[in-house]
Amino acid sequence: MVRENLRQRFVSALESLGGSAGNGRLQAELGWQDDTYWGTHAALIEDNTITKGRGRGGSVSLTAGSGNAAQPRGVAVQPALFPPEQKSPPAPLATRTTGRNGGTSFEQTFKNIDDVLWKEAGCTTELDYTEQTSWILFLKYLDDMEQSRAMEAELVGKPYARIIDEAHSWSKWAAPRKADGSFDHDTALTGDDLIGYVNRQLFPYLQGFRQRASGPDTVEYKIGEIFSEIKNRFQSGYSLRDALELVDELRFRSQQEKHELSHLYEAKIRNMGNAGRNGGEYYTPRPLIRAMIQVTRPKLGERIYDGALGSAGFLCEAYDYLRQGELTTSQLQTLQTRTFYGKEKKSLAYVIATMNMILHGIDAPNIVHTNTLTENLADVQEKDRFDVIMANPPFGGKERPEVQQNFPIKTGETAFLFLQHFIKHLKAGGRAAIVIKNTFLSNSDGAARALRQELLESCNLHTVLDCPGGVFQGAGVKTVVLFFEKGAPTRRVWYYQLDPGRNLGKTNALNDDDLKEFVALQAGFAESEKSWTIDVTGIDRASFDLSVKNPNKGEEDALRDPRDIIAEIAALDLESAGILESIRGIL
């Protein structure tokens, strides 16, 4: 049953707007999430308290004789994600709390948060900025989600048990409020009191969820995982108080608001990646991911996997790809719970991936914090396999000998181990798109040769996308993308040599237009000045060399940017140092 207080609040708000208003404006006035608004809306339409308008964006009006004096009948309803006539979220009126620095948008609020972090002694890098923003955002999101679920429960007359207890709720320590809804500065913790509470009470309480949760696929377990892997880096309780009040301005009420926040969060991840060093481990350029998705073409109902998750860019972009168009409630549920899977070894990346997927609309991501490569491939069963695998595994890393024992082809090269993992975890007929160093195609060492042979004989390697230097900021190496299907052996390989016609860099990054021709030509494996096909029967069986050799170009290669050469030398020096260290260990 829709509770009377919700009905009365709806009617009162509509009266205050003159008895008629657009749904977006009215929802913003009420401050309700989609489920609560449309559930109450449906009940009031049902008993003729309100009527639908004819406005383009959707509107409602009070019927004659309706108002606070009316006694609407109780009508049993089930909360709907969206109204029956509308399968995508309505566009709400842009209501944003004005920031203290004059900003009135989500973007300005994020900039203000960065300003606070820049002044904080405990935060010195883009990675720190993203980590600290992430845990605060996560707790604010969780509080909004709890409020939404409580309202939904009230809507149908059921009790609701909070995940976070009252003593540690956001409204208790981060944003306490007076009875009139205004911020309560008198009771808000700040300074040393705030830092002491967060470090000695809040974080230990949240970390305990990992032990108290009923299973690893629950929101409770995710909370425990996140707060067991990160720490509060704020040293000043005054800076933390500023950050909390800024984040409190953000709202996660509608899908449109989450979508806007997800774009801003992606920008933070991109900045972290562009900062170089280990920041680049978490970020794959989104135009490249989108092109990989267009070629791989995932479908609703298929299981999609990334075992080197990073910031979850592949899964988030795949969600956006599959979310297009009109979907049923059942299809949306499938997308939420039975479509996207991932694993990530590093703590910060796991936290960022979790937050990124939540902001894109996946409330309880099926991602695990673990070293993917510790799984023995001999133990993989059919239930462990996936329809689509897309990933950009780390290259240049080294794994210990005991980890290498999990793989039929022994190698210390992390990317080669991941490629074996992906081939094994792909279903028969499944599709994969994997980013890897271009030297994989020609390396003469035994592991690389054996892996190329395995790939050609167990899969149909139908496409190789050759990427120019500069696609990955700070990586210092060129990459290729391998597109293959599991089951039938390779007969022909289609190559495309990507040439955007400019040097790529931080201020001139890869974009979607750069990849349009590749996607269009790949659909029919068409040949051009940049694309060609080779027959596998012509490959040297001793080396299985798959090097990119464009027959439409002369022998001369274009001159490379000196900065790219220096970056590659530095990366190779680092790789050589690792090899020498391994040899010293043997001696």
Phi, psi torsion values for 508, nearest 5 degrees = -140, 60
- Evaluate if residue 316 carries a pLDDT over 70: yes
Between 195 and 19, the higher pLDDT residue:
195
pLDDT at residue 454 above 80? yes
In a shared domain, residues 79 and 132: no
Tell me the pLDDT band of 349, cut-offs 50, 70 and 90: confident
- Sign, CA torsion 472/478/479/480: positive
Q: How much is the average pLDDT of 396-409?
A: 86
User: Does pLDDT of 216 surpass 60?
Assistant: yes
| 76 pLDDT above the threshold of 80 | no
Average pLDDT over residues 377-387: 96
The pLDDT assigned to 352 comes to 85
Whether 294 and 374 share a structural domain: yes
125 shares its domain with 8: no
Q: Which helix H or strand E contains 386, and what residues bound it?
A: strand 386-391
* Residue 561 counted as domain residue: no
Provide CB contacts within 8 A for 204, sequence distance 6+. none
Average pLDDT over residues 338-356: 89
Burial of residue 171 (CB within 10 Å: 0-12, 13-18, 19+) is middle
460 by DSSP, 3-state: which? strand
Quick one: what percent of the chain has pLDDT higher than 70? Answer: 85
Note whether 344 and 353 are within 8 A (CB).
Answer: yes
Show the CA angle centred on residue 552, arms to residues 547 and 554, nearest 5°. Answer: 80
**214 & 115 share domain:** yes
**Does 35 share its domain with 174?**
no
pLDDT digits (tens, 9 = 90+) for 473-527: 765 678 999 999 999 999 999 999 999 988 887 778 889 999 999 999 999 999 9
Q: What is the pTM of this model?
A: 0.73
**Mean local confidence (pLDDT), 297-303:** 96
Q: Which two tokens stand for residue 523?
A: 């659909």
User: Beta partners for 343?
Assistant: 368
Q: Decide if 490 contacts 456 (C-beta within 8 A).
A: yes
The answer as to whether 273 is a domain residue is no
* Residue 418 belongs to some domain of the structure: yes
Instruction: Report the alpha-carbon angle 278-282-284, nearest 5.
Output: 120
332 and 467 housed in the same domain: yes
Between 189-198, 260-269, 417-426, 448-457, the lowest mean confidence (pLDDT) is in 260-269
Burial class (CB in 10 A: 0-12, 13-18, 19+), 150: middle
DSSP class per residue in 504-545:
-BTTB---GGGGHHHHHHHTTT---SSEEEEEGGGS-TTT--
Q: Which residues pair with 493 in a beta bridge?
A: 534
Give the relative orientation of helices 4-16 and 34-46 as an angle to the nearest 10 degrees: 90
Instruction: Tell me what pLDDT residue 100 has.
Output: 39
Q: Which of 51, 86, 121 is the last residue of a domain?
A: 86
Which of 396-410, 536-550, 569-583 shows the highest mean pLDDT? 536-550
Are 247 and 295 in the same domain? no
Q: Is residue 509 part of a domain?
A: yes
Q: Is residue 159 part of a domain?
A: yes
Average pLDDT of 372-382? 95
User: How far apart, in whole angstroms, are the C-alpha atoms of residue 6 and residue 10?
Assistant: 6
User: Does residue 290 share a domain with residue 236?
Assistant: no
452 and 531 inside one domain: yes
Number of domains in the chain: 3
**Mean pLDDT score of the chain:** 83
pLDDT band at 299 (very low <50, low <70, confident <90, very high): very high
Does 75 lie in the same domain as 4?
yes
pLDDT value at 282 more than 60: no
When pLDDT is averaged across residues 275-291 and rounded to a whole number, the result is 71
* Same domain membership, residue 490 and residue 435: yes
136 and 236 in one domain? yes
HSE-CB for 115 with a 13 A CA cutoff: 13
Per-residue pLDDT tens for 98-143?
A: 433 333 467 888 889 889 998 888 888 878 888 898 899 889 988 9
Res 557 pLDDT > 70: no
pLDDT higher for 69 or 404? 404
The domain that holds 41 is classified in CATH as 1.10.10.10
pLDDT at 3 over 70: no
Q: Is residue 300 helix, strand or coil?
A: coil
> Is pLDDT larger for residue 489 or for residue 261?
489
Question: With 50 as the cut, is the pLDDT of residue 277 above it?
Answer: no
Rounded to the nearest 5°, which phi and psi values hold at 210? Answer: -65, -35
Mean pLDDT of 537-542: 92
Spell out where 438-516 has E strands.
459-466, 479-486, 492-497
Tokens standing for residue 330: 């059942």
Higher pLDDT, 273 or 87: 273
In a domain, 98, yes or no: no
In a domain, 576, yes or no: no
- Domain residue limits at 119: 106-253
Q: How far apart are CA 207 and CA 203, in angstroms?
A: 6
pLDDT at 78 over 70: no
Which has the minimum average pLDDT: 13-17, 72-76, 269-273, 345-349?
72-76
Q: What is the pLDDT of residues 24-41, one digit of tens each?
A: 778 777 777 666 777 788
Q: Are strands 20-22 and 59-62 parallel, antiparallel or unpaired?
A: antiparallel
At 467 the pLDDT is: 94
- Give residue 554's pLDDT band: very low, low, confident or very high (50, 70, 90): low
Looking at residue 412, what is its pLDDT?
86
- Is residue 352 within 8 Å of 283, Cβ to Cβ? no
Domain assignment of residue 525, yes or no = yes
* Predicted local distance difference test score (pLDDT) of residue 88: 37
Task: Count, in order, helices (H) and strands (E) of the chain.
Answer: 21, 12
